[in-house]
Amino acid sequence: MNYVTTTKQYAISFLHSDSFMPVMASVLLHAFILIIVGWGWESSLVTPRKVMPNYVEAKLVALKPTAPKKAAPKKIKKSVKKVDLAAQRHEQERLKQLQVKKQRQIAQKKKATEALKVKQLADKKAKALAVEKAHQLQEEQNRLAEQQILVEQQQQQAFADALAEEELLLQAELDAVAAQSFSGNIRNKVQSKWSRPPSARNGMKCLLKIQLIPTGEIIDVSVIKGSGNSAFDRSAEQAVKKAERFDLSGMESRIFEKYFRQFNLEFNPQDLRQ
Amino acid sequence: MRLVCLFFLVLLANGARADLTIEITQGVDNPTVIAVVPFGWGGGALAENVSNIIAQDLQRSGQFRPIDQNDMLAFPHRQAEVFYRDWRALGTEYLLLGDMEMRNGRYQLTFEVYDVLAQKKVLRQSVDAGKGQLRDLAHYASDKVYELITGIRGAFSTKMVYVEALGGNKLYRLMLSDVDGARPRLLLESRQPLMSPSWSPDGREIVYVSFETGRPAIFRQEVATAKRVQLTNFKGLNSAPVWSPDGKKLALVLSKDGNPEVYTLDLATGSFTRVTRHYAIDTEPNWTADGKGIVFTSDRGGRPQIYKVTLASGHTERLTFEGDYNARPRVSPDGKTLVIVHRSNGVFHIATQDLATGDMRVLTETNLDESPSIAPNGAMLMYATKHQGKGILAAVSLDAGVKFRLPSKAGDVREPSWSPYF
Amino acid sequence: MRGNFRRKVTKKPMAEINVVPYIDVMLVLLVVFMVTAPLLMQGVKVDLPQAPSGPIDNKDDEPLIVSVKKDGSYYINLGRDQKQPKPLSEITGIVSKVLRNKPSTFVVVWGDAQVPYGKVVTLMTELQKAGAPSVGMATEPPR
């Protein structure tokens, strides 16, 4: 009882305190962030992730009695190898010792060169002072020359920009071609899975929105515009779900983001009765 | 503040980007794989295996491939017991669960359809039926599942009538049964031939030709009460009666004026109107879907071909040009397709012809296929054929071309007629 | 004079980075990953043998994975409780049912490196009898 009243009092005092607003704001902000981060996961969580294990293909084979003949010669070969191994080990140790010697020599040489360098630096400083004055004169001249170069550079830049733009356009065109071949694959796969209900007729249209992840797996299918025939719409949805994943191997992520993270499928039969 | 603005700008830019659209114009049209799990039932042995009947119904439609019950990894009865991954591993697209119980002396079936790929329930329904109606329960569920998945109304709950000849044409029976051939019921028995049964559009009555008076006469009979009335008694041919779509008239063939001609009979007034005037044989009339015209077989061109006459103007046009024999026309309920018996290379097939384009497609390859009758949903048709020298009934789907034979009967079976929806 | 001096000190620009927001963001991320990580985990824990090998390339369907633990118990990645050991007969039953309905399914043995060789061969024989023409052996790339 007592505890309850004290907590109540505390709660009331908190409500009127200055810290109430900021605390609420921060709690709401956190909740908002949690929702934003956790939102997209929902659909992918419902469908259990698939395990695509690495594997070795194996077939059961019955052994024929020809096998034992080979066993004997193999043993001899192994013992020969052992002798070789001992000799090799010996050789390797000799080489190691040689290397250690070489490294010592190199270290001594380094010390000598460093001493020389210090001397040279002192000389350079003296020379620099004398040269400075000459430099100032030259700089003035340089500035004039630079201005001229700048103008030239700007012209060049404009040309380069135009070139880059053209390149970008070319790139986009190439991307579109690549995307086309992938859409062809997707179309073939969906068509091979689509079994239409007998009530389907030419001219029925159903638009689906598909969401993919870069591995090609479908994470979401939704009907944007139905045909009015629910059996037809469901068959379209099922065709996509049956396809499960599309083969996107070799697709650059740029193309994926541009075209395939989210795309539409329009089901529009042409080979049926009117 | 600037950061927040930037964030929303990025979001906006993302949403406004024009997405790539890939067009899908073709498909493979494989049958839908469905798992019909044995239904839950607490009581003792049932007279019928309801889930089995549903699986067979769906398989016969040609649009479905039910999974063998022996291949199922689990037998769930409720959503909580459904583990989609298992069903997906089996290649299942849809899952049908059901639970049956006894309530107030009636069977109550609650069934649910799941979309395995989307991992969600797409249908839940309850239906109840009396003691002897377990098959009706099953056909009802089949209808609902079929309609949900194909977008076409199911016709498993409908009936058919057919003629069965016993003992080498010594005894004729007019029979009524489910469209899967189960639960046959005798409507009429006669020592003289019975022919050309046909349903009224409300499904309450049938008309047929009987020779019981010594010559062909057309009768009309209520299915439920077996009350019957003779409609014609003309000299010569009285044959091929067909009810008009509005139920007010019959189209029939009479030869009272010399040679067989198509007439209409106004059922309210009993007056006959002659439709065709030609010295050649005009027979086998069938109404167009709108009831404004009649298609019929005529050999006015030298060979039997299909013609169509518009009732108001009397204008006649020829519809078929392919092959030297086309007969027994039936118009599909949507009025777009003509089903005919087509002969090529001396073999009789069932074929369809698109009325708009004139394209013909042969549906069956067996010999001596005749008397096609279209289901009220236009997705299947029943026809008579010969198997091991005996007349049997077979069905084929108009789209998928899947065929199946109905269970063989004691006698020679012919002239099926598919009922309308009840 | 004194007050003046003090003010000068407080106005001095802060020299170190304020790490509190960084810690804050990190904690939020940590919470998100702690929540999602258990959901991503699945399957039976097995020490796979190490060998260079390729990933399953371009297979449409999820492979059927039969795991063998060090103690010789079998598991399969189907059913409600995948961490429940199952008798071999049940596993081959499931495999044959799946292969009958979807013959293209790929079967992978996910065996511990310590499992006796004979046990793996028995399993492979049984899987072949169940209808798997060839069986993959799951490996881990060498460290």
One domain for residues C19 and C80: no
Higher-scoring residue by pLDDT: C66, B16: C66
Residue of B17, B26, B153 to mutate, interface with A, max A Cβ within 10 Å: B26
pLDDT for B96-112, tens place per residue? 999 998 888 899 999 99
**DSSP assigned state of B64:** E
C14: amino acid identity, one letter: M
**pLDDT recorded at residue A45:** 41
Identify the contact set of chain C against chain A, taking CB-CB distances under 8 A: 24-25, 28-29, 31-32, 35-36, 39-40, 42-43, 51, 53-56, 58-63, 65, 77, 108-110, 121, 124-125, 128, 134-141
pLDDT the model gives residue C25: 87
Please, which residues 79-108 of chain C have a Cβ atom closer than 8 Å to chain B? Answer: 79-80, 94, 97-98, 100-102, 105
Per-domain residue ranges of chain B: 32-150, 159-418
pLDDT at B125: 92
Give the pLDDT confidence of A195-241 residue by residue, as tens digits: 888 888 888 899 999 998 888 888 889 999 989 889 999 999 999 98
- Tokens 């009127």 map to which residue? A16
End-to-end CA distance of chain C: 68
- What are B205's two structure tokens? 């009555």
Q: Dihedral (C-alpha) A40, A46, A47, A49: value to the nearest 10 degrees?
A: 70
Check whether residue C70 and residue C126 sit in a common domain.
yes
Arithmetic mean of pLDDT, B312-331 = 89
Residue type present at position A230:
S
Q: Determine the average pLDDT of the residues in A246-271.
A: 86
| Residue C87, domain member (yes or no) | yes
Q: What is the dihedral of CA A78, A83, A85, A87, to 10 degrees?
A: -160
Q: Cα(B62)–Cα(B60) distance, rounded to whole angstroms?
A: 5
Report the number of distinct structural domains present in chain A: 1
Q: Which pLDDT belongs to residue B200?
A: 93
Pairwise CB contact (< 8 Å): C79 & B73: yes
Closest CA of chain C from B84, distance in Å: 9
**Would you tell me which residues 66-95 of chain B have a C-beta closer than 8 angstroms to some C-beta of chain C?**
67-68, 70-74, 83, 85-86, 88-92
Give residue A79's pLDDT band: very low, low, confident or very high (50, 70, 90).
very low
Range of the structural domain that residue C93 is part of: 64-137
Q: What is the mean pLDDT of residues C47-70?
A: 72
Tell me the mean pLDDT in the region B364-374: 83
Cα nearest neighbour of B74 on chain C: C79
Q: What is the pLDDT of residue B209?
A: 92
Residue among A5, A193, A226, C132 at smallest CA distance from B117: A193
Asked if residue C91 and residue C32 are part of one domain, the reply reads: no
Best to test chain C binding among B30, B73, B92 (most C CBs inside 10 Å): B73
Interchain CB distance below 8 Å, C101 and B85: no
- Contact list in B for residue C101 (CB cut-off 8 A) is 33, 67, 71, 90-92
Give me the pLDDT at residue B364, please: 83
pLDDT value at residue A207:
92
Does the pLDDT at position B199 exceed 90?
Answer: yes
Q: Which amino acid is at B181?
A: G
- Token pair in block for residue B418: 């598919």
Judging contacts by C-beta atoms under 8 Å, the chain B residues touching residue A262 are 19
Asked if the model's pLDDT at residue A178 lies above 80, the reply is yes
How many CB pairs below 8 Å do chains A and B form together?
108
Judgement on whether residues C116 and C79 belong to the same structural domain of the protein? yes
User: How much of chain A, in percent, has pLDDT values that exceed 70?
Assistant: 68
Q: Which chains touch C (3 or more CB pairs under 8 A)?
A: A, B
Distance from CA of A263 to the nearest CA of B (A): 5
- Per cent of chain B over pLDDT 70 is 95
Structure confidence at residue A35 as a pLDDT band (50, 70, 90): confident
Q: Which two tokens stand for residue C24?
A: 């804050």
- Cβ-nearest to B67 among C62, C79, C101: C101
Contacts of A185 in chain C (CB under 8 A): none
Between A42 and A186, name the one with better pLDDT.
Answer: A186
Q: Which residue of C has its CA nearest to A245?
A: C60
Q: How many domains does chain C have?
A: 2
Q: Comparing C-alpha atoms, which of B325, B373, B315 is closest to residue B348?
A: B325
DSSP A137-184: HHHHHHHHHHHHHHHHHHHHHHHHHHHHHHHHHHHHHHHHHHHHHHHH
Please tell me the distance from the alpha carbon of residue B398 to that of residue B62, in angstroms, as a whole number.
9
Could you report the per-residue pLDDT of B263-300, keeping only the tens digit for each?
Answer: 999 999 989 999 988 888 899 999 998 989 999 999 88
* pLDDT classification of A5: cutoffs 50, 70, 90: low
| Nearest CA-CA distance, residue A243 and chain C, Å | 7
Q: Which site among B70, B72, B86, B95 would you substitute to test the C interface, given the most C Cβ atoms closer than 10 Å to its Cβ?
A: B86
Nearest to C64 among B74, B89, B92 (CB): B89
Count CA within 13 A, CB hemisphere, residue C8: 5
- Give me the residues of B, 10-69, that contact C with CB < 8 A: 33, 67-68
pLDDT value, residue B18: 65
How far, in Å, are A223, A235, A241, A260 from residue B23 at the CA level? 14, 15, 17, 14
Q: What is the mean pLDDT of chain A?
A: 76
Do residues A56 and C135 make contact, with C-beta atoms less than 8 angstroms apart?
Answer: no
So what's the architecture of B32-150 in CATH?
3-Layer(aba) Sandwich (3.40)
CB atoms under 10 Å from CB of C70, counted, come to 13
Q: What is the pLDDT of residues A11-26, one digit of tens each?
A: 677 777 777 888 888 8
> What is the average per-residue pLDDT within A256-262?
87
- Nearest CB to C101: which of B71, B83, B85? B71
Answer whether A192 touches B (CB < 8 Å). yes
Q: What is the mean pLDDT of residues B353-365?
A: 86
Summarize pLDDT for B161-198 with one digit per residue, the tens: 999 988 877 899 999 999 988 889 999 999 999 999 99
Residue at A58 is within a domain: no
- Provide the CATH number for the domain around residue A199: 3.30.1150.10
Contact: A191, B26; criterion CB under 8 Å: yes
Per the model's pLDDT, the better-predicted residue between B409 and B51 turns out to be B51
C81 and C36 together in one domain: no
Q: Does C76 reside within a domain?
A: yes
Q: pLDDT tier at B329 (50, 70, 90 boundaries)?
A: very high
Residues of A in contact with C124 (CB under 8 A): 58, 60
B341 pLDDT above the threshold of 70: yes
Number of CB pairs < 8 Å for A and C? 84
pLDDT greater at residue B44 or residue B10: B44
**Is B356 in Cβ contact with A194 (below 8 Å)?**
no
Question: B159 or B214, which is more confident?
Answer: B159
Min Cα separation B82/chain C (Å): 9
Q: Give the pairing of strands B370-374 and B380-387.
A: antiparallel
Do residue A54 and residue C141 have CB atoms under 8 angstroms apart? yes
Which of C97, C100, C102 is the best residue to mutate to test the B interface, defined by the most B CB atoms within 10 Å of its own CB? C97
In CATH, the number for domain B159-418 is: 2.120.10.30
Confirm or reject contact between B151 and chain A (CB < 8 A). yes
Tokens 């037809």 sit at which residue?
A232
C100: domain CATH number is: 3.30.420.270
**pLDDT at position A70 over 80:** no
Structural domain includes residue A6: no
Q: How are beta strands B272-274 and B194-199 bridged, if at all?
A: unpaired
Domain holding A241, by residue range, is: 182-267
Q: Based on the domain organization, do C86 and C120 belong to the same domain? A: yes
CB neighbours of B90 closer than 8 A, spacing ≥ 6? B33, B35, B67, B71, B72, B73, C97, C98, C101, C102
Digit-coded pLDDT (tens) for C98-133: 888 888 888 888 888 888 888 888 888 888 888 887
Q: How confident is the model at residue A72 (pLDDT cuts 50, 70, 90)?
A: very low
Q: Are A263 and A235 in contact (CB under 8 A)?
A: no
Average pLDDT, integer, range A83-88: 56
The two beta strands, C107-111 and C64-68, are parallel
- Residues C28 and C72 both lie in one domain: no
Cα–Cα distance for residue pair B172/B188, rounded to 1 Å: 8
More confident site: C59 or A143: A143
Mean of all residue pLDDT scores within chain B: 87
Across the range A55-60, mean pLDDT stands at 69
Identify the residue among A49, A54, A247 best suited for mutation to test binding to C, counting C beta carbons within 10 A and taking the highest.
Answer: A54
- Residue B33: count other Cβ atoms within 10 Å of its Cβ: 20
Q: What is the mean pLDDT of residues A251-269?
A: 87
pLDDT over threshold 80, residue B17 = no
